[in-house]
Amino acid sequence: MQELESFKEVISSPKKIVITTHHKPDADALGSSLGMANYLLKKGHEVTVITPSDYPSFLHWMKGNDDVINFEDKNSQEKAKKIIQKAEVIFCLDFSCLSRLQEMASSVEGSKAYKVNIDHHQDPKDFADFRYWSTEAAATCELVYELICKVGDRSLIDNDIADCLYAGIMTDTGGFRHPNTTKNVHLITAELIDLGADNSKISRLIYDTNSINRLKFIGFAITRRLVILEDLQTAYFAISKKDLRKYHSKTGDTEGLVNYALSLDGIKIAALFTEREDGVKISFRSTEEIAVNKFAAAHFDGGGHKNASGGKSKLSLKETTEQFEKLIKQDQKTLFNQLELIHEKN
């Protein structure tokens, strides 16, 4: 509570503020950042949103997008570093440890600014002066909404801010389908619609703006790159750099692909292995009972949420999937343990 008072005090007079989020921002990361930015601008602050990388074009509609600085863009990096150095307050949204900023981490870590961390991931690292954190929240956007209300500024939320926050809640709940879609999610979503969020426009802008290349890529991945391990109730995609090049893949084109594997009847664990310049990036998804974040943390230098997590590997794509298959077999008991217990009870 005392911390909330100190936070209120900090944002009560104009400051130089930087807002950042995790590498390869998704709708919750960018929506919470731009939602917060637009709110703080209204309060008279000087605000810059700096992302550690680019992000999908289906998020470019958010208000403030044109002023976002991409730290990975070599032409902007020096400018970004100067702005971070001068910042009095740094907001770190939708991530729990600074390593998720990748190349940008040392600049933020080295800054003396008052740091704010708003997040809903497990095991937050202690790097912030004020932390507004809950793993119960479906999205960071949900927490941003709550915090603005707690500060007493609900009336400052206009339709642009509401649009940004709605987008993050919509996507982090998988379109209001995942188990994290709580009563609170629906209540806050209703509030956001009341404040002007255009829900049907936002779902169209995010889900229905595919390029034909992306649709062809999804078709190719499902027909040629999907491996189903029926006995292990597991299915995964392995996508090579060559595959991505062939379909002129852009940032965001692989987003959601892993869900096709999880959508198969009888499949409880899904993974997507994507070969990148610096190694293999992995997305894990699971059904309610199975904690893939623990699996990701134990074997793939990762983490995240119980049913949606990620990790990485420095092995080749083939070696990584071989290792994955071996580990799934090996960890079968632990992974499915909860499930067996549930079945025994029934």
Report, in Å, the least distance between residue 299 CB and ligand 5GP: 12
Taking CB under 5 A as the rule, does residue 172 contact Mn ion?
yes
CA distance 108 to 247: 36
Q: Which phi-psi region, left, alpha or beta, contains residue 90 (left: φ > 0; alpha: ψ -120 to 50)?
A: beta
Residue whose pair of structure tokens reads 């956007």 in the numeric block: 141
In the bound state with ligand 5GP, the residue whose beta carbon lies nearer, of 38 and 313, is 313
Q: Which of residues 121-150 bind Mn ion (CB under 5 A)?
A: 140
Beta bridge partners of 271: 236, 284
Q: Report yes or no: 139 and 173 within 8 Å, Cβ to Cβ.
A: yes
The three-state secondary structure class of 50 is strand
φ, ψ of residue 122 to 5 degrees: the values are -70, 160
Residue 304, contacted partner among ligand 5GP, Mn ion, none, CB below 5-8 A by kind: ligand 5GP
Q: Report yes or no: 197 and 166 within 8 Å, Cβ to Cβ.
A: yes
Within 8 A by CB and 6+ apart from 47, the residues are 17, 18, 19, 37, 40, 41
Report, in Å, the least distance between residue 99 CB and ligand 5GP: 8
Q: Strand order in 114-119's β-sheet?
A: 69-70, 46-51, 16-21, 89-93, 114-119, 130-133
Report, in Å, the least distance between residue 187 CB and ligand 5GP: 22
In the bound state with ligand 5GP, the residue whose beta carbon lies nearer, of 35 and 252, is 252
Taking CB under 6 A as the rule, does residue 290 contact ligand 5GP?
no
Residue 329: half-sphere exposure toward Cβ, Cα within 13 Å? 7
In the bound state with Mn ion, the residue whose beta carbon lies nearer, of 32 and 313, is 32
Taking CB under 6 A as the rule, does residue 303 contact ligand 5GP?
yes
Q: Which of residues 256-285 bind ligand 5GP (CB under 6 A)?
A: 283
Report, in Å, the least distance between residue 1 CB and ligand 5GP: 28
CA distance 41 to 91: 14
In the bound state with Mn ion, the residue whose beta carbon lies nearer, of 94 and 255, is 94
What track of x and - describes contact with ligand 5GP for positions 305 through 324 (by CB under 6 A)? x--xxxxx------------
In the bound state with ligand 5GP, the residue whose beta carbon lies nearer, of 115 and 305, is 305
Residue 28, contacted partner among ligand 5GP, Mn ion, none, CB below 5-8 A by kind: Mn ion
Taking CB under 5 A as the rule, does residue 94 contact Mn ion?
yes
Report, in Å, the least distance between residue 274 CB and Mn ion: 19
Report the 3 state secondary structure along 184-197.
HHHHHHHHHHHCCC
- For ligand 5GP (CB under 6 A), the number of binding residues is 11
List the Cα angle 49/52/53 in 5-degree steps.
105
Near ligand 5GP by CB under 6 A: residue from 119, 302, 313, 328: 302
Closest CA to 31 of 181, 194, 131, 144: 144
Q: What DSSP element (H or E) covers 224?
A: helix 212-224
Q: Which of residues 77-136 bind ligand 5GP (CB under 6 A)?
A: 121
Beta bridge partners of 308: 285
In the bound state with ligand 5GP, the residue whose beta carbon lies nearer, of 15 and 23, is 23
Q: Which of residues 1-60 bind Mn ion (CB under 5 A)?
A: 28
In the bound state with ligand 5GP, the residue whose beta carbon lies nearer, of 35 and 303, is 303
Report, in Å, the least distance between residue 140 CB and Mn ion: 5
Chain positions contacting ligand 5GP, by CB under 6 A = 121, 283, 302-305, 308-312
Chain positions contacting Mn ion, by CB under 5 A = 28, 94, 140, 172
